[in-house]
A and B are shown apart, each in its own frame.
Chain A
Amino acid sequence: EVQVVESGGGLVEPGRSLRVSCTASGFTFDDYAMSWFRQAPGKGLEWIGFIRSKTYGGTAEYAASVRGRFSISKDDSKRIAYLQMNSLKTEDTAMYYCTRNGPYGGNSRADYWGQGTLVTVSS
């Protein structure tokens, strides 16, 4: 059974950093890109970024709202994708979701979603 499980969310002060993780099982992790999305309380869905599989260079793309502050990485040996969030702002408060995507990342669908991890940025 395909599963992705996020962890590492919590309360963090503005300007600080936080790393959330996404642990995958039930599929060949190396073969897939992984994406991150978020949803602020009571709002719609926002794409944050994705990281391609190594077959396609393992490169990442990001939304403008997080580019330069957030970075995505993928440890195929551990089957974990990471979202490193730096210089956090109060507007980054949201539920953060990890998804499995097609290997190239671009033009792909998010076919499996985790349950999400809540990040609250507040002093």
Chain B
Amino acid sequence: DIQMTQSPSSLSASVGDRVTITCRTSQGISRYLNWYQQKPGKAPKLLIYGVSSLQSGVPSRFSGSGSGTDFTLTISSLQPEDFATYYCQQTSNTPWTFGQGTNVEIK
């Protein structure tokens, strides 16, 4: 199975901050890397697919980058509605696996 190591596990940030979350995979996954946002009590929501493609309707302050085994989700200017847990996911091989999540909290 491909292991996903996401960091940090949590962070505190202020509105307007630039936030970066990283995801490292245990082997190369080409471009099969997705990012999801989950708010408490809600279903996950797709933000980024294929490393850097923005899902329709997602604000442009969200961006993804990376290659090989190292990937990044960046929120350029954190907004109040962005406080949530973020997960990376690989779909290169089954079983599809997720990072453990990053909880973004209000500072």
Contact = CB atoms under 8 A, between A and B. Distances in A.
Interface of A: 37, 44-47, 61, 63-64, 97, 106-111, 113-116
A109 B34 contact: yes
Given A44-B87, A45-B87, A106-B91, A111 B97 contact: no
A45 B44 contact: yes
A45 B46 contact: no
A110 B94 contact: no
Contact of B50 (A46, A97, A109): A109
Given A107-B32, A107-B91, A109-B34, A44 B101 contact: yes
Contacts of B87: 44-45
Contact of A109 (B38, B46, B92, B100): B46
Given A47-B96, A111-B55, A116 B43 contact: yes
A114 B45 CA distance: 10
Contacts, number: 53
Nearest to B38: A45
A47 B32 CA distance: 15
Contacts of B62: none
B95 A113 contact: no
A3 B40 CA distance: 20
A47 B93 CA distance: 12
Given A113-B45, A114-B43, A44 B100 contact: yes
B98 interface: yes
A22 to B, nearest CB: 12
B46 A110 contact: yes
A113 B43 contact: yes
A109 B43 contact: no
B46 A47 contact: no
A33 to B, nearest CB: 11
Given A45-B87, A109-B34, A116-B43, A61 B101 contact: no
